Every structure is written in structure tokens, then in C-alpha cells.
Chain A
């Protein structure tokens, strides 16, 4: 009986120890399995993300290196799985799935948005990663207002390499244009159009008639003339050089001060309202101003006075047949809400005299000093010339060439102004506005 009792006690002891040991072991094994599974998931996700980014980068490179003018219908001939086959990198696969969406057509050109949905997956795994990029394909006679950064010059290397060599930095999805675009168009008809003159090119007789001067073919005297229609000042026409063009914003009013022959004329208004004040001879107070200034001559200094150069609603366009010198920073008022910095000013030069058609110096020169910000779109028929220091340009830049010994940072966003739309790249095809919409694990959400 004593033997039987000892055996029962021993068995009970062994069983208890085994149970507790097994329970601990099971917990530990389960835990190890969970950790293992997580590690494996992280590794696969890391791999998928890496291969997706690599493929996106390759896609971008391919777009940057391709000339759309080589294809008759790039939306189908270029964006397809023959040119962009599925990639396989060490068991990770990436598929390109293309789709397209027609955008509202512009004046003389078409815009198609091409989407590429990239889907990354791995053999023997349910994990996926996906991303989507889009790019706009422009076809036809594309106006310059669609371009944010363009050098209108034959260059041997790519535009990106050329701009980098010129000390130009940009933070926008620039697709270089290897098609060597040549801008077509003539600014002379802009003057005729703006002043609503008959014929394609202006002449002095028409100008005189417009400003109620004695009829003749002789040029008008240097001065500042207002082109009026009903209660609207369509444009300010300046004959002769301007010593200075000064911009000032205060209390919601935009002021523009014209300096010529040591005399100043101030025009102030509230954009879009019949609110104009003018200290010249013309009785135009209370008129609306269409914010267009055309100068037949050079502008030797463009400056800001006061804390801000522009009110937020201003959209001022200045065209000169001659040279422009920006001699101070130009910054719009800070609304304090969000720091949206869209340029309120367009400065454009014409390489031909409005009346004679002779070729003239149409450079835009920036002499703002060490570090400055210019919130303007610059469209120079000649060169853009900048010296030492950092220039932050918050607008688009289109120039015949760039001469820069400092740094130019461009927040290149095409501006919606009328004047650049009159010049275009004829029968051209190009890509604009590359965007990555998302990169995410799994299928989109």
C-alpha cells in the first residue's frame, strides 16, 4: 500500500511539472512565431516599397528622356506596356497599368492626363504595394502660359543639365523639353489687341487716334497715356523710357507709380472694382483698371515701396519693347492665413520694336542684391541676367537664355495671364506636371 501511494504522488508531481512546462513552452513558441511573421512582413513590405520607388524613378527618368514629338499619338504609342513592361527584381514584380483622362482643351491645343498605376507584389505573398503617378500630355499650338520654366534656345544638353549648369534650382515637376522649342508669335500684335487697334500691327496714326491726338504718322511725345473704353482703363501706354516703375500695396489698394523725366504719376485701384484714382490730367477716378501696362521703351528700375508690392487680388501685366531692370525685391502682402505665394505680376519683354519692328535688347536684369525674393512671372525675349547672391523667384521663368553668377531658386508655376498666351510653340507635343498621387501598402486604402 505504501508503494502504491508513493507512485500516485510521484505521477501527480511529474504531471504538474509537465503541464506548467508545456504551457510556458507553447506561449514562447507562439510568441516566436508572431515575431517571425512580423519580421517577414516588414521585410517584404520594405522590399515592395523599395522596388516600387525604383520603378517610379525609372518611369520618371524615361519620361524626362523621351521626346513626345517622335510619336504621332503618344498617349497610346508611348504610354503602353511595350515601352513600360512589367519589372521583376529578385522576386518582386511591378506592373504598370495605364489609363487616360481628357482634360478641358485649351485654345488650339489638347491636354490628356495619363495615369500610371504601379502595383508591386512578391511571389508567394499576399502583400502588395501600389502607387499612382500622372502626367499631362499637351498637343498642338501650346501657349507659353502653359509653361513654368522654359529656355527658348537650341542647347546641346538636356534642359535640366543646362539649368543646373546655370545655377538654376527648381522645385516643381519640370519635364525638360528636348524638342528644342522655338517660340512663335510677335508681341506687336499684343499692343494692337490690347489697345483695340485695327490691323495686326500698330502704327502711330492709329495710336494718335486712340489717344485723341492730332492725326499724323509721327510718333507721339514721351508720356503716359490711358486707353479708355467706357468706365474702364484698358491699359496704360507709356511712350519712352521709364525711370522707375514702383509697386505698393496698402489698405487693400494697389498703387503703381510711373516715374518719367523726374516726374511721377500715381495710379491706385482695388482689383476688379471701379475704384481707380489717378493724379494725371485724365478724369478717370472711379474707373475700373484692367491691369495692363505697355511700355514702348526700357524700364530702368522696377521697385517695391512699403511693406508689400501687391495686394493679393492683383494680376498686373507689364509688356515692354526694351529692357527691364528689377532693382528691388517684389513681394505681395502676407494674408497670414496660409502662405500661398502666387505671383501677382507678369513682366514680359519684346525683342522687336512695336512700331519699326527692329530688333532691340529685351533682357530682364535683376540687380536686387544679395538675397531677395521676386514674386513675378518673367518672360524675357532676351536674356535673364542675375548677378551674385540668391534670388527666390516665385513664378515662372521663360527666357532666351540665362546669365547667372549666383543662385536662382524658382517655384515654377505657370501663371494664368493673357500676354504669354499670345505666344506659342506651334504643333508641339510635350509632357507637363508630373505628379505622384500616392504610394501605399496594399491596394489604395
Chain B
């Protein structure tokens, strides 16, 4: 009885072994490639979902607490241009606890955690038909110190709103959609964006947007700006 392989058997087994190994390596490589592609697609889809959620959330808040000021003073809650749109809404509101006069810089209002340094504020009075923007210099103990002196007289109970501005901008060269809030910088929101447009329908208080990703996928949304409507 001869033990072990002969030369012929050895060659055949080596050939078979190499063949099987080649198949396994090729398959593993392909699997890795497919897995990477699937992961990439999923991540992109996740990013798209996140973008859509963020846009929807911002648009839903558009004009919040600003309905009256938008209507009577024509302060825009929504502005758009090519590849760009801006949403403004009130984060919180308080009323003047006492009259505020032209040139005054300290206002008396109720305590509210949203009134923070550097935030933009809108003060208006329908009775006096006046309004103005300003910025918070400091806020403590109900004393709101403005960065600039008032340009008008405001009676007690005039609303004071803390504003939040959110802006979206499409950068075609970078194929990127970016978002910024208030005075911050534009931060990337979605990559591989090949087209982005927004249309505002003022009569219907609605916004139609379209995002094209990688010249393949298109996401469209039509959102009714609930908070711009004043019954």
C-alpha cells in the first residue's frame, strides 16, 4: 500500500485547490464591493432622510409667532432665490411689562430662557404701527439690554420676539447642500447634490422643493406653511 500522493495526484489536487481558492477570493472581493456599495447607498439614503426631515421641520416652523408682524408689517417669514431659501420664525415671545421709549436700551419683560445674548429680536406695536429689529446685548432678571437704542416708542404689552433664521444654500461646484442658522456658518447637510430648487406659492402658503442626488435620485416635497397662516 502506497501512502501519500503521487506526482500526478499532487498536481491535480494543487490545481483544484488553486481553482477553488481563486473562486473564493473572487467571491469575497465581490461581496466586499457589493457590501460597500449597499452601505454607501444606505448612508446616502440616511443622509437624504435626515435632510428631508430637517427641511420639513424648518418649513413647518416658518413664520411661527410672526403671523401678525408678517401680515401688518410685511416682514417675510419665507424668502427664496435660485438654489437658496431662508426661513424666519419666532423662538419665543414676551410682552413689554412697561412702556419703552425712543432711545431706550433696557426693556422690562418676563423671564424667558430663550432670550439669550446675541439673539435677534423683533419689537412691534400694532397700535403705534411701528416695528424694529434689534439684538440682545444681555438679559438678566427680566431686564433685556439691547445692543442698539430703540428708534421708536413702544407701549406696554408690545410683543418682543426672539427670532431664529435658518438658511439653505446649494453649492453646485461642491455638489453640496448646506444649512446655516442665525449668524453661524454654512454647514454641509447633503453631499452629491446635483440640483436643488425651491418654489414658493404665496397665495397657497406652500413651498415646493426638489433635490437631485447624483443625477439619479430625486426627492420632491410640497409643504404647506402652517405657521404663516393667520385665520
Contact = CB atoms under 8 A, between A and B. Distances in A.
A12 B24 CA distance: 9
Given A20-B31, A60-B231, A438 B126 contact: no
A12 B71 CA distance: 73
A340 interface: yes
A9 B13 CA distance: 12
A132 to B, nearest CB: 9
B222 interface: no
A434 B20 CA distance: 78
Interface of A: 1-2, 5, 9, 12-13, 16-17, 20, 23-24, 27-28, 30-31, 34, 38, 49, 53, 60, 101, 103-104, 171, 173, 338-340, 342, 413, 416, 434-441, 444-445
A31 to B, nearest CB: 5
A366 B216 CA distance: 60
A159 to B, nearest CB: 16
* Residue of B67, B74, B92, B231 most packed against chain A (CB within 10 A): B231
A16 B24 contact: yes
A438 B64 contact: yes
A139 B91 CA distance: 31
A77 to B, nearest CB: 24
A416 B28 CA distance: 80
A342 to B, nearest CB: 5
B6 to A, nearest CB: 11
A125 B150 CA distance: 46
Interface string B92-112: 110100000000000000000
B95 A101 contact: yes
Contact of A104 (B32, B34, B61, B156): B156
A340 B75 CA distance: 9
Given A27-B35, A28-B38, 12 more contacts: A16-B27, A31-B42, A339-B74, A342-B72, A436-B67, A437-B65, A438-B61, A438-B89, A440-B61, A440-B227, A445-B91, A445-B92
B226 A435 contact: no
Interface string B48-78: 0100000001001100110110011111000
Contacts of B72: 340, 342, 413
B114 A438 contact: no
Nearest to A173: B231
B1 interface: no
A440 B60 contact: yes
Interface-centre pick from B35, B72, B156 (highest chain A CB count, 10 A):
B72
A289 B4 CA distance: 124
A38 B49 contact: yes
Contacts of A342: 72, 129
Contacts of B24: 12-13, 16
